Amino acid sequence: MNCELRIGNGYDVHRLAPGLKLTLGGLEIAHSKGCVAHSDGDVLIHALCDALLGALAMGDIGHHFPDTSSEFKGIDSKILLKRTYDMILGRGYSLVNADLTLLLQAPKVAPYIEQMRSTLASVMGVGVDAVSVKATTEERLGFTGREEGVAAYAVVLLAKN
Query: Counting Cβ atoms within 10 Å, is residue 56 exposed (0-12), middle (13-18) or buried (19+)?
Result: middle
Q: CB of 97: closest distance to Mg ion in angstroms? A: 22
Query: 52 and 89 in contact (C-beta within 8 Å)?
Result: no
Q: How far apart are CA 81 and CA 48, in angstroms?
A: 8
Question: Nearest distance from residue 82's CB to Mg ion, in Å?
Answer: 16
Residue type, 64: H
43 near 23, Cβ under 8 Å?
no
Contacts of 124 (CB under 8 A, 6+ apart): 81, 82, 85, 95, 131
Nearer to Mg ion, 77 or 119 (CB): 77
CB of 27 to Mg ion, least distance (A): 16
Which CB sits closer to Mg ion, 33 or 46? 46
Residues that bind Mg ion (CB under 5 A): 12, 46
Q: Which is nearer to Mg ion, 37 or 155 (CB)?
A: 37
Q: Which is nearer to Mg ion, 4 or 67 (CB)?
A: 67
Task: Output the smallest distance, CB 152 to Mg ion, in A.
Answer: 9
